[in-house]
Each structure stands twice: as structure tokens, then as C-alpha cells.
């Protein structure tokens, strides 16, 4: 099975330091939805693993998170794509949970859901914690310069073998045309 793991904010949609708190604030990064559709057409299963501490901080509730995700799924479908599994951590950073990236909990759930090892599975993120979670399970960390990606790259200390791309569309071109 061909599988890819994507972060949400800063990879699929524009990020915000004030959090994405409503469907109106969820705006796709140009080319990201089409890139996911290209992955689907090439036989990839797409999993999303996203920290959503705004829930734990009380900035929005689960109904609102579900509404945001419903908009994402609808927009993606209109571009000819789909997400096969969506995993999120609703906990605040101080919760010390096993699911919040850089912990590997969501990645382990993805491996169990699809019944596959994550060794060398592409994992795309814009923050160091996305890359660290991927590296912990042996996935292939890929940094995009969208979202917080440029700042993450400038800060350095990326996991070994991290590949760097301008955006998700460039990642997909690299994967599909090695």
C-alpha cells in the first residue's frame, strides 16, 4: 500500500498564529488540494495527523473542529481528492499526552489503522514537531516552506534525511516523478 501522512495547518491550508477556529478561517494553500487529488489518482492513501490544541485551550469545540474538517473534505472532493483517515490531538501542549506531536501516538494509530509499518512512508509537515514525530516511527520526514516551514528551516536541527520542498505540490511531484 502506498501511504502518505500530512499535517493540516501550514501544509494543506494557510496557518494562523491565532489558530484556525472556524470553517471561514480554513483556506487551502494554492495547489494543495490538487496535489492531494494527484496522490489519490496515483493510488496513495492519504492520512492527516494534526495537533489541534485550540480544542484543549477552549478556543473552539469539537463541533467546530468537525465543521472545519467537513469544509476541508468538501473542498478536496470538489478538486477530485479525498483524505482516507484524519487523526487529531485535541489536547493543549501541557497535557503531556501521547498523541500530540512530536510524540508518535497519532502515527502509531495510522500504522494500526492501515496495518502497515511506517518505515520510509512520506510524512509532510511545516514544523519541527511534525518532522520529529515522523522520524520517531521511521517515516520519511519532508518539510514544506509553507506555514511555519521557512522559520522551521531557518531554526535548523531537522531530523536526519529531512527533504525540503516549497509546498505540498512540489512534494507530490517529487514522489510521483522520482
- Look up 9 and say whether it is catalytic: yes
For 65-93, b/e burial (b = at least 16 CB within 10 A) is: bebbbebbeebbeebebebebebbbbbbe
- Catalytically annotated residue among 7, 126, 130, 167: 7
- Catalytically annotated residue among 9, 15, 126, 130: 9
Q: What angle do CA 55, 50, 87 make, to 5 degrees?
A: 90
Spatial separation of the C-alpha atoms in residues 151 and 112, rounded to whole Å: 32
Helix runs in 79-148, H state only: 105-114, 128-136
- Look up 166 and say whether it is catalytic: no
Active-site positions? 7, 9
Amino acid at each position: 500500500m502506498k501511504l502518505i501522512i500530512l499535517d493540516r495547518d501550514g501544509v494543506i491550508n494557510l496557518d494562523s498564529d491565532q489558530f484556525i477556529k472556524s470553517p471561514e478561517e480554513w483556506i487551502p494553500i494554492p495547489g494543495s488540494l490538487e496535489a492531494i487529488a494527484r496522490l489519490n489518482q496515483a493510488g496513495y492513501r492519504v492520512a492527516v495527523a494534526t495537533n489541534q490544541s485550540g480544542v484543549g485551550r477552549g478556543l473552539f469545540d469539537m463541533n467546530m473542529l468537525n465543521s472545519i474538517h467537513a469544509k476541508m473534505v468538501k473542498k478536496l472532493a470538489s478538486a477530485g481528492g479525498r483524505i482516507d483517515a484524519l487523526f487529531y490531538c485535541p489536547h493543549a501542549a501541557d497535557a503531556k499526552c501521547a498523541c500530540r506531536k512530536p510524540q508518535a501516538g497519532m502515527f502509531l494509530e495510522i500504522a494500526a489503522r492501515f496495518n502497515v509499518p511506517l518505515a520510509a512512508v512520506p510524512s509532510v509537515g511545516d514544523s519541527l514537531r511534525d518532522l520529529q514525530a515522523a522520524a520517531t516511527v521511521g517515516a520519511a520526514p519532508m518539510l514544506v516552506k509553507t506555514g511555519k516551514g521557512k522559520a522551521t528551516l531557518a531554526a535548523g536541527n531537522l531530523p536526519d534525511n529531512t527533504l525540503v520542498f516549497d509546498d505540498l505540490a512540489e512534494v507530490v511531484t517529487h514522489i510521483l516523478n522520482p
